[in-house]
Homo-oligomer: A and B are copies of this chain.
Amino acid sequence: MNPLREILNPRSIAVYGASNNPAKMGSMQLINILETGFRGKVYPIHRKEREVLGLRAYPSASELPEPVDLAQVVTPPQAVPEIMEEIGRAGIRRAIIISGGFKELGGKGLELERAVRKLAGRFGIRFLGPNCVGVMSSPARLNTTTIARPPMGGNVALVSQSGAYSAMVYPFLEEKGLRVHTTISVGNEADIDVVDCLDYLAELEDVKAVGLYLETVRRPREFIRVGRKAGAKMPVLAFYVGGTQAGARASLSHTGAICGPDELYGGLFSQSGVVRVSDMDELADALLALSLQPLPRGRRFAVITNSGGPGSALCYHLEKAGLEVPVFSEGLTRELKTMTRPLSYCANPVDLTFETDQNLFLRILEVVLSSEEVDGAVLYGVFAPADFMHNIKARIPAVREVEEVLEKGFSDFARSLAEIPLRHGKPLLVLSLLPPGSPTVRKLVEGEIPVFQSARRVAEVARVMTKYAATLDLMRETSKQSSFPQP
């Protein structure tokens, strides 16, 4: 059984390193466990205090009133072996070791890590870390990290060799509209590693996409096997930073990772069915789109815009990203021309400059996605009235009276818009220059339409989606040709 099942769904947790000083990392983690709504039992272990942050504390795991599923440990590294022995004797078989000061420091740290592994082996303890920041599990309402308020409830998982890129990113992910099912910080991977995580996540029904932040892959052969298994079910995206000189140096000092050249890792990812992305923006953006929208069956995209500049920029970036913005057939162009104002350009991009009837977007999108000429669409130029009524309201108070009607109109529009790509099984991506918190973006995101603030980001997302669709096709083909029995 994958050890992550209990780590991410414990019935009870023993916490080492929390105290009544809220500035301590262990205290912050305990506070987050309590405030995030975890429903299991939580037992602070403290050598001296009888009570920690309002909970009864225990001097040792051996004195706990019941068998406990998981221990989280954030203490000086020298104390960790003793604690491993203590929890081992107390029957705890899962641990998250937050403490740093192990392999990433070399020398004595390396020895200390070896000692911890040995003790874990002796007692059969499976653990995350050391040198990690904990986990977040939406189904268990469990957040053992120091960062409050993860954007919970989504269907996307994040596995990271960086603590910051698994927990510090919560506000960053939330701003992008990405809600997460699970985040796992694997740290030095002294025991459980990225392969185990991927293996576990691939089995979960409610996870639809996985993002990896990697500085190394310690078991490449198993990574390929498990990557392919996961990749056949859901997109697995990886951001790898070890491929430059300074990147490799930084990673070595960070998690003791030995990095390989960019090209080598590129090959590893292709073999694994893992789609490589170029940064955290692209990772989060693509996870959002992949978790919400159908996959494109090819690389042809329609561009629909109500303004020339963003339309041109979308065309430019899509082509730069290796996608196609095909000229529409005469038939399709003619059909679109009957719908638009006399002189609009309709052969792709479809440019509805200064069109004020937003519902025209719905009809155009319907026609375009119905055609056999594109595999997806990108859209610029839908707006909630609230984003532009500030000065009008100041000057014409009567406008306030119709505000609600206008807003309801946009909500209805967003709902209708969201249905079209799903009905046609082709993805829709939206560009908006409004900020994430704006009424426009909020309502589109509520309707599960992925919205991005720049044309390049839209194109990058379209590229990743197309790449995953092609990867999936390739894997299916390879598995047909293979002489091995397939699951």
Contact = CB atoms under 8 A, between A and B. Distances in A.
A182 interface: no
Contacts of A181: none
Contacts of A200: none
Contact of A31 (B239, B325, B391): B391
5 contacts: A28-B388, A147-B388, A148-B388, A213-B309, A246-B349
B162 A310 contact: yes
Nearest to A284: B454
B162 A348 contact: no
A22 B396 contact: yes
A371 interface: no
B279 A312 contact: no
Contacts of A169: 433
A381 B32 CA distance: 20
Contacts of A253: 308, 345, 349, 351
A192 to B, nearest CB: 18
A346 to B, nearest CB: 9
A190 to B, nearest CB: 16
A164 interface: yes
A172 B434 contact: yes
B172 A315 contact: no
A403 interface: no
A390 B246 contact: no
Contacts of A242: 312, 316
Contacts of A320: 244
Which of under 10, 10 to 19, 20 to 34, or 35 or more describes the interface residues of A? 35 or more
6 A-B pairs with least C-beta separation: A162-B309, A254-B308, A253-B345, A246-B325, A247-B316, A246-B315
A210 to B, nearest CB: 17
B438 A437 contact: no
Interface string A19-49: 0001101001001101110000000000000
Given A31-B395, A172-B434, A390 B148 contact: yes
A171 B432 CA distance: 10
Centre residue among A175, A241, A281, A438 by max chain B CB count within 10 A: A241
Interface string A108-130: 01000000000000000000000
Given A249-B327, A353-B100, A392 B309 contact: no
Interface string A155-199: 000001111110011011011000000000000000000000000
Interface string A413-441: 00000000000000000000111111000
B315 A391 contact: no
Contacts of A348: 246, 249
Nearest to A165: B309
B315 A351 contact: no
Interface string A246-267: 1101110111000000000000
A343 B164 contact: no
Given A101-B343, A454-B281, A162 B312 contact: yes
Nearest to A257: B312
Nearest to A282: B456
Centre residue among A34, A149, A250, A434 by max chain B CB count within 10 A: A250
Centre residue among A165, A312, A387, A435 by max chain B CB count within 10 A: A312
A278 interface: yes
A474 interface: no
Interface in A344-369: 345, 347-349, 351, 353-354, 356
A226 interface: no
A445 interface: no
Centre residue among A25, A325, A327 by max chain B CB count within 10 A: A325
Contact of A309 (B164, B309, B319): B164
A163 B307 contact: yes
Contact of A246 (B303, B388, B391): B303
A325 B241 CA distance: 14
A79 interface: no
A247 B392 contact: no
Given A22-B392, A343-B109, A454-B280, A164 B433 contact: yes
A313 to B, nearest CB: 5
Centre residue among A101, A247, A392 by max chain B CB count within 10 A: A247
A149 B246 contact: no
Given A34-B395, A309-B163, A250 B433 contact: no
A357 to B, nearest CB: 11
Contact of A319 (B247, B312, B324): B247
